[in-house]
Amino acid sequence: MTKLRSKPNRLQIGRATAVHNIWQVDAKEQLKLANGQPACYLTITEEYSGAWLDSLVFPL
C-alpha cells in the first residue's frame, strides 16, 4: 500500500515574465444579443502586454 500525502500539491503560477508566457481566458455567459438570442463569449488576452488576442461568440 502507498502512503497518502497529508496535503495536496498546489500549482503555483506566477506572473508572466515574457510575451505569450501566460494567456488569460475569460468567459461571459447568459448574454442576450440585440435580437434577443441568448449567447456566450470568450475573450483571450496576453497577460504580459495586456494585448487582446481573440474573442469567440457562440449560442447558448
The per-residue pLDDT for 5 is 65
Length of the chain: 60
Q: Smallest Cα–Cα separation from 31: which of 1, 9, 60?
A: 60
How many CB atoms are closer than 10 A to CB 39? 15
What are the sequence ranges of the domains in the chain?
A: 23-59
- CA-to-CA distance for 48 and 44, rounded, in angstroms? 13
The per-residue pLDDT for 1 is 62
Q: What is the band of 58 on the pLDDT scale with cuts at 50, 70, 90?
A: confident
Region for 49 from its dihedrals, namely left if φ exceeds 0, alpha if ψ lies in -120 to 50, beta otherwise: alpha
- Look up the pTM and report it: 0.63
